Chain A
């Protein structure tokens, strides 16, 4: 039997067994913020920003397949909501996220989720990491100190011929560093460069050929908030 019933914020929802919790919530109009998660791509579970309370345990909703009788709290759980906000704040203080001069502004998921979670200022002290950039590639400008280690680029952007990874993470813990294989990066088509820049949820992977090409007011999250995008994407996929 594939049909299951779960409860999200007190609302009974009939859905299909094994579907990802974050998708089910969004499909039913309950927004859960995400950063590393991309619909229809394998789950990464790296950012933890989608953590919600499932049967009284906090767990990342992008890694949880729904099961019958599951009780989920998203917006009703104020403590969980504050924890999600705290995670966003931590990401902001850990890197150099200078929205005013960053060309990703208006299309940056971290910024958009920051707005969505009503983050006005971080409760944590800023770390002010040393600016580190790799600009050796012909087409990609890597702003290392903005990387949030979501691993989207690592897992989903690969060399078309060899399927080798173009991006990787070196070291561990606080010494982790995003790396780029310049030879492979220089082989990327302009379309793939644009895909990588768009996939990056922050202003870490910048397309050198792009500049500030989208006018203010016409950028992704200015047309549609990150919440609206998430809910609409699910709604559209439901209809299709």
Chain B
């Protein structure tokens, strides 16, 4: 008689998800799925609000990547009032740089949270370590100095966010046509030089390099397991600038294949011409795919691994050096090793830190030209905004009537883009770790979670949902009867 394993909730991810694995009578994996079982409905209840409230309201989807949602919404508003990219116009240089500063800071603190708190425990203790050990408290016991540095790094990132957006969480700086304040010289100097209880910019870069070294050490010791863990081909998507390099704030959408050939490249305002979304009755999270290639072949990978596969170079020296090593490892081909997402994430922490340093030394941040207010005749009433959020490409699309009342909102978030590849990861890990085993251990099920965590999925964002954050693994037999279930809160 076959089995069905349920992992519910999947832990150390943002949001509520569960995994089911179906086994046949010989304990061979027949099917494995990641289900996202929460629902929120932000797209609906923003309707009827004034258009300028949308980025303030919709950023509340997430407590981690709220700046991305805020900026994505702000880009939509720029389009709506007639100064966005869709209109061929542009907000002021200072406004864009201030938005970028907040964006990079959020990427830094979000990646630091995911990397050190959610992922490093397995890197240090292994997937079979007892659950009591593989968490942040275990890290604190094993390496208190590292945890202190992580706390300091996150704090610094949040202080940058506060300096730009007014609050560490759910602040407000972007308004239609620009931003509502610049960065004072005092705030800039505090972030560059640090103070008691706040590290300096140079220390941030040092700590970021330490984080990367941590991956190198882990990789050196576990090369075979890391490289073969859930390795499969997928298309890679990222926003790119004119040179084809990642641009976290703005650019064209570029999709490359395993040989890094460009499969599609288009202005993100044309997203709906290229992408469609599939649905499944077993998950609230949709499955976006390229229409031309269909549901399976047309699904894409976004986030750190996708971005590093698409980008050719960085403009900052330390991150560029790390990127070259990353690209060299797969000899110019796309990197399809799921756990290398953590490598890519560590490189992006360093890249964000270097980008922030460049911006903090830019005098444009102290200038007063912050908002463009076009005439009402420029009103378009519709806009699309896309940014590269920490977890990948994020899209907001709103429409409003001529009085400014929002009538439509659509969000396509990074975790949703990754839905198909995450499910492939779950299947791949289940095949490797569960296949043919009579006894399913905690470590085997944790391997599935490790695969999911590599994407740092935000299931709350993906379903735009309110709820708790637990994971469930369930085992069903060949007749669909539940045999075993492990629930983690």
Contact = CB atoms under 8 A, between A and B. Distances in A.
Most B C-beta atoms less than 10 A away, residue of A101, A136, A211, A218: A211
Given A100-B57, A101-B53, A212 B175 contact: yes
A120 interface: no
B180 interface: yes
Contacts of A208: 50, 404
B180 A214 contact: yes
B48 A216 contact: no
Contacts of A100: 56-57, 60, 170
B18 to A, nearest CB: 30
A162 interface: no
Contacts of B138: none
Given A101-B56, A103-B52, A211 B403 contact: no
Nearest to A131: B48
A216 B167 contact: yes
A217 interface: yes
B180 A213 contact: yes
A136 B60 contact: no
Contacts of B404: 135, 141, 208
Nearest to A141: B50
Nearest to A208: B404
Contacts of B165: 216
Interface residues of A, number: 20
Given A100-B60, A101-B60, A135 B50 contact: yes
Interface string B158-188: 0000000111001111011000110000000
A135 B48 CA distance: 10
A211 B173 CA distance: 11
B367 to A, nearest CB: 15
A131 B50 CA distance: 12
A215 B166 contact: yes
Contacts of A141: 50, 404
B60 A215 contact: no
Contacts, number: 50
Contacts of B92: none
B53 A103 contact: yes
B49 A212 contact: no
Nearest to B50: A141
A40 B90 CA distance: 46
B180 A215 contact: yes
A147 interface: no
B405 interface: yes
B403 A135 contact: yes
Contact of A213 (B57, B171, B175, B376): B175
A160 interface: no
Contacts of A102: 53
If over half of A's interface residues share one DSSP class (helix, strand or loop), that class is named, otherwise mixed; here it is loop
B74 to A, nearest CB: 10
Given A133-B405, A135-B404, A212-B180, A206 B60 contact: no
A100 B166 CA distance: 13
B52 A211 contact: yes
Contacts of A101: 49, 53, 56-57, 60
A223 to B, nearest CB: 13
Interface string A216-231: 1110000000000000
Interface in A88-144: 100-103, 131, 133, 135-136, 138, 141
Most B C-beta atoms less than 10 A away, residue of A135, A136, A138: A135
Interface in B176-209: 176, 180-181
A52 B154 CA distance: 48
Given A133-B48, A216-B171, A211 B57 contact: no
A177 to B, nearest CB: 17
Interface in A14-42: none
Contacts of A215: 166, 172-173, 180-181
A135 B181 CA distance: 28
A211 B78 CA distance: 13
A84 B72 CA distance: 42
Contact of A217 (B53, B166, B170): B166
Contacts of A138: 376
A82 to B, nearest CB: 31
Most A C-beta atoms less than 10 A away, residue of B52, B57, B165, B404: B52
The 6 A-B residue pairs whose C-beta atoms are closest, nearest first, are A216-B166, A101-B57, A215-B181, A135-B403, A211-B175, A211-B52
Interface of B: 48-50, 52-53, 56-57, 60, 165-167, 170-173, 175-176, 180-181, 376, 403-405
8 contacts: A100-B60, A133-B405, A138-B376, A208-B404, A211-B52, A212-B52, A215-B166, A216-B172
Given A100-B60, A216-B167, 20 more contacts: A100-B57, A100-B170, A101-B53, A101-B57, A101-B60, A103-B52, A103-B53, A103-B56, A131-B48, A133-B405, A135-B405, A136-B403, A141-B50, A208-B404, A211-B52, A214-B180, A215-B166, A215-B172, A216-B166, A216-B171
